[in-house]
Each structure stands twice: as structure tokens, then as C-alpha cells.
Amino acid sequence: MAPRTDRLGFSALADLPAAQRPLVDPRALGVGIAHLGIGAFHRAHQAVFTEEAIAAAGGDWGICGVTQRSRGVLEQLQPQDGLYSVLVRGEDTSLRVAGAVRDLLFVAEEGERLQALLAAPTTRLVTLTVTEKGYRHDPATGRLRRTDPDVAADLAGDGPPRTVVGQLVRGLQARRAADAGPITLLSCDNLPANGEVLRGLVTDFCAALPDGESLATWIAESVSFPSSMVDRIVPATTDDDRAEAAKLLGFSDRGVVVTEPFRQWVVEDHFAAGRPAWEHAGAVLTADVAPYEAMKLRLLNGSHSTLAYLGALAGHAHVADAMADPGIAGVVAHLMAEDVEPTLAVPDGYDVAAYQRELIERFHNPALRHRTVQIAMDGTQKLPQRLLGTIADRLAAGAEPRFACLGVAAWMRYVWTARAEDGAPLPVDDPLAERLRELTADAATPQAAVDALLSLEEVFGAELPANDRFCDLVTDALEALTKGGVAAATQI
């Protein structure tokens, strides 16, 4: 028996109890999927569905996990033969080693290998979790930000592509040249119509290339871009989590991911070159994902962002602590039932009230230490699909979406002051952080902060800032937050 201090890897598998072993033999699995953005979320979500699908129905759908910015994930997983465990925390705790990640690739150092991977006939599917900001689009319009210096460099062909869309288009170019056949690009990020958004960005990129037209024609014939709705709460892994995994596993695991029991995946069934049989793992394959996406983004993510900003301002480190604050919990319940629900076209057979109750329970999960500042990240990329769509729909219906506007005001207070109510600094981690600072630096009153921030047209568009009702609701909420804090602003 291996000494219990060893690191997880192929040689550890024989020592693990059957319930902790991968469902497939990772050594025998070929790579069929390139996954861009192999963070914790992918490892706890699509990689798990994929492994279960392979276990049930076979197929060489092993994953090559691609990482963009840092060697971090490689250092975690390469010495472990791609293995890592999934620690599920609900009423009970369970842990199993996942086996679908078969290879890893660090784009910054291996750009050519990425091209070769995307051009290989064995690669039939590219999945993406690159976060909202990874698309380099204007959140309000969904169009490629051609003024972004990295996008401009990729369009000019200055060195290996740095942006995800640049990498994909250059990869598709190589695939076409290699005559390697059709492929599917499947976005798994929290954006509405994420497949359409990705298709639009790839098309925008091709249109800006001097020789892009015939490539665009090939893409239109050979590449599909299904949309998908993904859901599983996956907080960043901590040292405590790693210590717990080592105890449960008997091996050290630097790549462990922590998550909740709940998981959901709704995928538009439109694949150009096949797919794993994810339905065997509980995924819903459907013709139309839009109603599920709106429901999830507006109810779950809209509430998440609202309670993250309010919670962080009030000094709550974790989502469950924020939910224990009756004011914040009340706002979340009202936001869902009064502001969001009337805007939804609920999917057939869905009990949307039960869905909301389940969300509230998930947010209360005390075993998940989900940091409010983690969710508060990248607000400019998240607000449109999480809160602003709800607000626009309710205003158009003549209603006053007070709670969604409070969510927007809480974001404003967060980025304006960058401090919690007790004076503790809060990180403003956002691709537009510098602009946010400049815009709000001289704002002396809530009204001035609202005016300054609503000038971000790439976030708020042109219509909402011109709507007096919206401006008043957000200003009232920001005034309440400024004068009386979260406690006063959340009194319903």
C-alpha cells in the first residue's frame, strides 16, 4: 500500500475504495473534447457529466483542458495524471476522483499545440468556460470589442492569438486547411444565448480578416454553436478544502474542487460532429434553451449578484452568512418573485415557485463557503444579463422593479466606495476597474455616482439611462444604502 502522504495520480487508484475511483479507466480514454478555461467550474460540472456519459454509453470523449493565463491548473493536475477529486458538500459530504480530463495545455506557452488540437479530426467538440469577460464583447450589444488591444493584435496576426475568439478562429482556419471535418463550439458560460453570442463573435472576427470571407462560409457550413445553460455552485477551493480532501482520500490532491449536490445542464441539441451521451448523466437536451437560460441567469445569478454586493457591503464574507441576514434574504425572495418571475417564459412543466425555494435553500447551504467577493467580481460583465434585462422588461410592463434596482445600486455602492460599511476594503476586480475608479473618483453624492456610472454605455446601453423611472429607483436605493446602510436599504 502506498504511503498515505503520496499525491493523487494513476498509481494511487488501486488503493482507493471503489466508491472513490473514476467511473471510467482514464488510461484507456482518447481525447475528443478541447475545453477552454479549465477552472474549478468545468471540473465540477461538464467534466463530471462527460465522465458519467462515457461510463454509460462509451466514446472517446476525454478532455484536453486548456488554460489561458497561468500555469496554476497545470501544476495542480499534470503531476496527478489529470486526476482530481470532486468534494460534494450537502447534508453529507462525499468525494470521488474524476477521470475525464486526459490532457492539459497552457496556451501562453503552447499556442501551436492548441492549433493542432483544434485541427485534429479526433477533436469533435470544443467547450468553453472562459467567464463573461473572456469573450471580449460589449455586454450591452454582444459585439466583438475590436478596439480591445488583444483583439486588435489577434486580428493583425501579431504572434500567437491571445484571445479566446482569436484562438478559435485561427484553430478553425487550421482545421479547414487540414480538411478535418465539422466541429461544435459549445459555450458553457453564464450569458444569454451564449451559442449565438459566440457565433456572432467568431463571425465578427472573420469579417475583420482580409481573407475572412471564405473562412466564414466554411464555418457556416461546418461548425455548430449550440447554446447551453449550466448550473452548479462551485466556490474557489481553499486550503481547508485541500486538507479535508487529503483526509478523505488518503492522498494529497492539489486539484480538488468543492461543490454542492445540485447540478443542471440544459443543452441545445445541435452538434455538428457528435457529442457524449450527456442525457445518461441527467443533462436535458432540447431544441430551445432560451427559457431555461433566462430563468437561471435572472433568478439564480441575479439574486447571487444582489446578495453578493449587499452582503459584502454589510461585512458578510460568505453567501450563507448574507442569507442569514433577514433583510438580505427578504430582498432576494422579493427580487425573484416580484421582479424576475413575471418576466419569464417558464419552460413547460417547470414549477418556478419550487425552483425559487430550492435556490434559497442552495444559497443557505452552510457547508459551502462561497465568498461574496468572488461573486462580486466582474460586475460590469454580469449586470446586463443578471439584472438589467429584468429591469428593462418590468419597466416596459409599467412596473417598478425595486429589488433589481437595489441590486444595481448595491453594485454602484461597492465600486464607488470599494469599502464595506465597517471600513474594510473591498476588491474591485473587473476588466473595467480603472474606468470605474475614474468615473466615480469625484462623485460626492449618490446622484453623482449614479450619473457617472450610467454613462457606461457598453454596460447599460442607451435606453435604460434615459429612463427617468429607472434612474430614480437606482438613485433612491443608492441614497438609502449611503445614509442607512444595508440594514436600512433592505427594510421592505
Q: Where do contacts with ligand CS2 occur on this chain (CB under 6 A)?
A: 190, 231-233, 300-301, 304, 374-375
Rounded to a whole number of angstroms, the minimum distance from the CB of residue 304 to ligand CS2 is 4
Please count the residues of the chain. Answer: 492
Q: Which is nearer to ligand CS2, 215 or 233 (CB)?
A: 233
- Alpha-carbon distance 115 to 492, whole Å? 55
Rounded to a whole number of angstroms, the minimum distance from the CB of residue 433 to ligand CS2 is 16
Q: Measuring CA to CA, which residue among 179, 229, 172, 234 is closest to residue 203? A: 172
Phi, psi of 279 (to 5 degrees): -60, -30
Q: Which is nearer to ligand CS2, 29 or 98 (CB)?
A: 98
Q: Which is nearer to ligand CS2, 264 or 467 (CB)?
A: 264
Q: Which is nearer to ligand CS2, 106 or 265 (CB)?
A: 265
Rounded to a whole number of angstroms, the minimum distance from the CB of residue 233 to ligand CS2 is 4
Rounded to a whole number of angstroms, the minimum distance from the CB of residue 195 to ligand CS2 is 17
Q: Name the residue whose CB lies closest to ligand CS2.
A: 304
Q: Amino acid identity, residue 27? A: R
b/e for 68-80, b at 16 or more Cβ within 10 A? beeeebbebbeeb
Rounded to a whole number of angstroms, the minimum distance from the CB of residue 232 to ligand CS2 is 5
Rounded to a whole number of angstroms, the minimum distance from the CB of residue 484 to ligand CS2 is 27
Rounded to a whole number of angstroms, the minimum distance from the CB of residue 260 to ligand CS2 is 9
Q: Is 294 exposed, middle or buried (0-12, 13-18, 19+ CB in 10 A)?
A: buried
- Sign, CA dihedral 363-369-372-375, equals negative
CA distances from 487 to 184, 282, 329, 475, 477 (A): 48, 41, 12, 17, 12
Chain Cα centroid distance, residue 410: 21
Q: Is 67 exposed, middle or buried (0-12, 13-18, 19+ CB in 10 A)?
A: buried
- Alpha-carbon distance 86 to 23, whole Å? 13
Q: Which is nearer to ligand CS2, 232 or 275 (CB)?
A: 232
Q: Which is nearer to ligand CS2, 176 or 371 (CB)?
A: 371
Q: Which is nearer to ligand CS2, 190 or 482 (CB)?
A: 190
